Amino acid sequence: MHVVTKPSPRTKNASAPSQGEAESDTSAPTINTSSEQDGPVWRDPLEHPSFITTSPTTTMSQEDLYPNSFSMALQSPLPLTDRGSFASQLEASLLATNMTAASATLNSSTSASSSSQGLRSTMTSTAESTSMEDSKGDLHSEETKPTTSVPSNSSEPAEEDKSSRTSTDKPSHHHAHSPSHAHSRDSSVHSPPPIVKETLDACITVSPTGVLQVKQYELRRIIGQGAFGIVNLGVDVNTGIKYAVKEFSKAKLRKKDRQNLFRLGHRGRGPGRRGPAVPAEEEKSPLDLIRGEIAILKKLNHVNIVKLYEVLDVAAEDSMYMVFELCELGALTEVSVGDKPGKIFTDSECRDVFQQMVLGIEYLHEHDIIHRDIKPDNLLRSADGTLKIVDFGVSEMFTKKGDDMIKKSAGSPAFMAPELCRSHGEVSGKPTDLWSMGVTLFCIRYGRLPFKSGMSLELQKMINEDEPDLGDEQDPRFRTTITRLLEKDPSKRITIDELRNDPWLTDDGRRPLISKDENTQNAVLEVTDDDLRGAVQQLHGLFRVLKAVYKFKQLRKSPSPSSRTSSRDRREKAAGEPSNLSLSPPLLDSPPSEPADDIVMPAGEMSDSLLAKIDALNVQRDPEELEDDDDSVSKSSPPFAVAVADQQQERSATPQEFVVQASK
């Protein structure tokens, strides 16, 4: 059963490039070719240091990972954290970043060899160099495989095609742009906005080789771990285009949502004050739980902001998915949480990265969006080195032009502005992003945090009172820039407009930014409350009734909602199970002959034997296990995450065990 959102009238005219265009687009996610030699080289995120745990034993060569302007600086070895002082590092890391759990990256090996054993997501710490080597081998062998090697599920792709009938696009890919900073001079800063497809009842299938496929996206391997689920390398089996498919646990999101409702009214994960009121008594549709993030991402169209292509809910499972542009090179850098310095970027690299940050944030601010969690972990890079701002989970979007007042604290403590540390009232949001940009710039310039403490109160005091140590910084222009970014008083802090003429940023005018008009011309379309509600296709009318009937049938078959599994569970346990079976049942045994406009009805009926097969495939999940999952979210209340016990534990831990926290 596929529900397709009608494109909004505003986005209908947006002409996405044809597939051919997409394929020739150098900035598009790389397409597999049959020959490793002649084909584009896809660089496995797992090879990138940002995908490697920041745990004490991480050692990884970075050669060859960076094709562009960063290559020189990356000759230096990865920052190593000190095994001996791990406890203090962990505390420091908790304050530094909310994603070390993500860095305790999970290496899901789906190589030809592992595929032959059926799908088995081998969760191991990529910190182990041996496993990294393996994963590299796997990746390259995988890349030489034609993407059609895994047959798509018999009738499903056709259904999927049908499901796209109202979304006239193929996944569009932004324009080509030259490597490194040249994009900042690129006249085609914006491509036509992709139309974000929304599918409420996506199908999950398991291919003969045991690879899980959600709609047309084959989930090849896990490339990251977020607060609410994993991030997969997904390949569209129809086009071969690669994506980052972010998987969310609905149970965790619901739990978080309930907590937010309790604490903050209706301001949970999402657009803050723009969030539409949702009646408490009415259970939200699953995608509603991330409606804010979806609503924001739908409106954004900038080369330095990650693109969202599709959101999918799998009704019978605990999982839902967001399909993003893949950022092959992973995070900009790791924040050093130990005594040893992190990677230090050259002056020119710092400028290049910061210019892109400025352009992306200018675009956001110009359209009344405050990111709220700028830090190196949320600055990913595409294959050509272009910076992509990601993670709008705590971002806020404002209705009234000029109103950027934010209240709740969010983001990662080490990157949090002084006014957020000391104030319980409202503060202006834009300067808080500028501060976080300053901390990020400091990190890449010096390989360390400007303010670092394992104790939260002490950290806040440092942020509020201490001046950052610029060491023997030789460039007076940079001293001025960073000092103005890390100005304690938000009203005196440098603004984006001022940064445009900053001598260091522009290298005394030799490296000017593209004009503000050009950078922001592709205006975010006005966001209405309807847009926000429509960020997720609402179920109503006939469909709601049908859904109720379906749910009733499900109840008969399945003892409790908690028996729903996540696709990850299924992936781990599906080896050896019958393949090519849709796990997401059609809506009704006998679908109505005239489906509602925006609903594509399933082609076939759901026979009892099929239901029995589905039941057989449904790995029943212990309700307590689900509760445990939820608990990992409640532990996560502080807006930062992290990670890992010792190396030994890492090897055996499940993803959940890795996540000490997370969430914003």
Question: Residue positions in the annotated binding site for ATP?
Answer: 246
Q: Which is nearer to ligand ATP, 493 or 664 (CB)?
A: 664
Q: Does 106 bind ligand ATP (CB under 6 A)?
A: no
Q: Does 246 bind ligand ATP (CB under 6 A)?
A: yes
CA–CA gap between residue 590 and residue 586 (Å, rounded):
9
Catalytic, out of 138, 169, 373, 629: 373
Q: Which is nearer to ligand ATP, 448 or 664 (CB)?
A: 664
State the nearest-atom distance from the C-beta of 641 to ligand ATP, in Å.
6
Per DSSP, what are the bridge partners of residue 396? Answer: 370
Q: Does 369 bind ligand ATP (CB under 6 A)?
A: no
Of 17, 29, 393, 490, which one interacts with ligand ATP (CB under 6 A)?
A: 393
Side-chain half-sphere exposure of 566, counting CA atoms within 13 A: 22
DSSP H or E stretch at residue 312: strand 308-313
Q: Does 290 bind ligand ATP (CB under 6 A)?
A: no
CA–CA gap between residue 103 and residue 117 (Å, rounded):
27
Q: Does 330 bind ligand ATP (CB under 6 A)?
A: yes
Q: Does 311 bind ligand ATP (CB under 6 A)?
A: no
Give the binding range for ligand ATP (CB under 6 A) out of 388-396, 402-410, 446-454, 588-596: 388-396
Give the binding range for ligand ATP (CB under 6 A) out of 202-210, 217-225, 342-350, 453-461: 217-225
Q: Does 219 bind ligand ATP (CB under 6 A)?
A: no
State CA 21 to chain mean position distance: 25
Q: Does 374 bind ligand ATP (CB under 6 A)?
A: no
H helices within 367-455, ranges in order?
418-422, 429-446
Among candidate residues 296, 315, 320, the one with its CA nearest the CA of residue 307: 296
CA–CA gap between residue 108 and residue 166 (Å, rounded):
35
State the nearest-atom distance from the C-beta of 566 to ligand ATP, in Å.
14
Among candidate residues 445, 306, 469, 322, the one with its CA nearest the CA of residue 389: 306
| Ordered DSSP codes for 472-487 | T---HHHHHHHHHHT-
Exposed/middle/buried for residue 75 (C-beta within 10 Å: 0-12, 13-18, 19+): exposed
List the helix and strand counts (H, then E) for the chain.
23, 17
Site mask for ligand ATP (CB under 6 A), range 429-468, x = bound: ----------------------------------------
Q: Does 413 bind ligand ATP (CB under 6 A)?
A: no
Q: How many residues bind ligand ATP (CB under 6 A)?
A: 29
Is residue 373 annotated as a catalytic residue, yes or no?
Answer: yes
Site mask for ligand ATP (CB under 6 A), range 20-59, x = bound: -------------------------x----xx--------
Of 150, 380, 420, 427, which one interacts with ligand ATP (CB under 6 A)?
A: 380
Q: Does 131 bind ligand ATP (CB under 6 A)?
A: no
CA–CA gap between residue 215 and residue 213 (Å, rounded):
6
Q: Does 223 bind ligand ATP (CB under 6 A)?
A: yes
| Ordered DSSP codes for 489-522 | STTTSPPHHHHHT-TTTTTTTTSPPPPHHHHH-S
CA–CA gap between residue 198 and residue 401 (Å, rounded):
29
CA–CA gap between residue 94 and residue 86 (Å, rounded):
12
Q: Does 272 bind ligand ATP (CB under 6 A)?
A: no
Q: What CA–CA distances, in Å, run from 603 to 5, 159, 164, 205, 507?
A: 19, 8, 15, 16, 61
State the nearest-atom distance from the C-beta of 221 to ligand ATP, in Å.
12
Give the binding range for ligand ATP (CB under 6 A) out of 211-219, 310-318, 327-335, 537-545: 327-335
Of 70, 86, 217, 228, which one interacts with ligand ATP (CB under 6 A)?
A: 228
Is 46 strand, coil or helix? helix
Catalytic residues: 373
Residues that bind ligand ATP (CB under 6 A): 45, 50-51, 98-99, 102, 223-228, 231, 244, 246, 306, 324-327, 330-331, 380, 390-391, 393, 662-664
